[in-house]
Structure 1
Amino acid sequence: MPYRLLAAALAAVLVTGCEAIDLPMPPFDRDDSAEEGDDRVAAALRDALRVGTERTVDRTAREDGYLGNADIRIPLPDQFDAAASQLQRVGLGGQVDALERSMNRAAEQAASEAASVFAGAIREMRPADVHAVLNGGSDAATRYLRDQSESELRERYQPVVREQMDAAGVYRVYQPLRDSYNQMPLLPRLDLDLDRYVTDQALDGLFTVLAEEEARIRADPAARTTELLRDIFGR
């Protein structure tokens, strides 16, 4: 198969999934060179990633982006479950709820950090990266961006999470709860690294939403909001 036809077929697979393989794929115009076809496919892929990441940041960085989304809402740490039950019994249920709410607020504030990191990862894509994503599975773009950006995102998230948790009163709520729990006899001591926990949960939630946005662009023509996406991926 000529190289430009292969590139066009792979682009369609990225968007429509395996079902699209059985559909006829019109080639690029015969007047276009293979290199021009490759450039358009690569540009369309970057456009898809740009659209998907912008939507992801918009969804997670808003108020209730985490707290109001059951799929990514950050729960109390597992280690805190037993403590929460004990604390609720002694009338501290409101503080326990405030702790969970403030952790999610911190994640929402940190999510805006992802915009520039994702943009840099998309700009730095090489031809080999483009073809790896096109040949990958249904979440290939999300996995690529996580591989390329998670380390930098973690570095950016941690100070923001720490600052926002402080501003949201996480430590002010958690420390008295921890101290109250640790004074109860015959119970294991509670001492959590909340910064790390919230950062880990925030990043997991971010990439969960990104995978959802990737799936939308693959499956739903209405999600292809730019002319280039409709032109290339509509084939």
Structure 2
Amino acid sequence: MAENKILTSRRTLIAGSAATGLLAAIPSGAAAQGRLGLSSILGQATDNALDKLAQPGAFYNDEAIRIGLPIVGDLGGRAGGLLGSILGENSTAGVLGGITRSINDAAGVAAGEAKPIFRDAIDDLSFSDAPGIIREDDGGTQYLRQSSNDRLHERLEPLVDSALEELGVYSTFDGLAGQHSFIRDAGLNRQSINRSVTDQGLDGIFAYIGSEERNFRENPLRGLGSLLGN
């Protein structure tokens, strides 16, 4: 009788262990739902952010994300002061202001064309660590940036390049470089301008995506935030 009880206990233990292993191998409904919800929210947050930033003047009018003149090279911050003193001393609407506005407008144009790029990046995310990500109010945004920032930068650069060309930013800098050697010495050329604008533009885009994600989580009626248990 005792042997039967021991055998039964062993069988129960083995069966329980097997069931536990099987459950661990299969994502729970909540976890799978969380991954789906996170992907959906991040997609909607990205679309909303890019729509807002594509509006005329969006980058320039928001001081928190406004893109500044690219300053690189050994002159560092001094180049900004020199450029400002030479170009902007007459009025804030002078050449300096015009260049800054054009640079921000270029970022807005690029943002308006970037939806497919961000959607592709989101679709490629595994969300394997979604249970940890969903605890942060902008966890999806952080994860997207950590996982895809370099690829997004690489794909956004051509859009920024085209916009800078079309809006005359490059030709303006080329003309200024011909007149002022410090601009050339500071390394301000098409490549560095594009890189700087793309870097700053991505900062602004991710700031807006994070804000949109937080809004979705705080107000599930706006989207799929309820899938994350918020």
C-alpha contact (below 8 Å) 2:87/2:94 kept by paired residues: no
For 1:61, which of 32, 38, 54 is the aligned residue?
54
C-alpha contact (below 8 Å) 1:113/1:156 kept by paired residues: no
Describe the superposition over 1:141-180 as per-residue Cα deviations: whole angstroms up to 9, x where unpaired. 1111112222222112212212111110102222222333
Q: Match of 1:200? A: 199
Change (3 A) 1:92 1:39: closer
Q: Match of 1:107? A: 107
Q: Give the alignment of 1:63-142 within 5 angstroms.
A: 63-77=56-70, 78=77, 79-89=79-89, 94-135=94-135, 137-142=136-141
**Amino acid in the other structure paired with 2:208:** V
**Amino acid in the other structure paired with 1:98:** G
Describe the superposition over 1:24-51 as per-residue Cα deviations: whole angstroms up to 9, x where unpaired. xxxxxxxxx9733333222222221122
**How large is the RMSD of aligned CA atoms in angstroms?**
2.9
Q: Match of 2:187? A: 191
**Amino acid in the other structure paired with 1:229:** G
1:161 aligns with 2:160: yes
C-alpha contact (below 8 Å) 1:106/1:165 kept by paired residues: yes
Aligned length: 195
TM-score, length of structure 2 as denominator length: 0.72
1:52 aligns with 2:45: yes
Tell me how far apart the structure 2 counterparts of residues 86 and 188 of structure 1 sit (CA, whole Å).
15
1:174 aligns with 2:173: yes
5+ long unaligned stretches in structure 2: 1-25, 71-76
Q: Match of 2:15? A: none
C-alpha contact (below 8 Å) 1:95/1:173 kept by paired residues: no
Q: How much does 1:92 deviate?
A: 10
Secondary structure at the residue paired with 1:171? helix
Tell me how far apart the structure 2 counterparts of residues 160 and 215 of structure 1 sit (CA, whole Å).
28
Q: Match of 1:40? A: 33
Tell me how far apart the structure 1 counterparts of residues 160 and 173 of structure 2 sit (CA, whole Å).
15
1:225 aligns with 2:218: no
Change (3 A) 1:92 1:133: closer
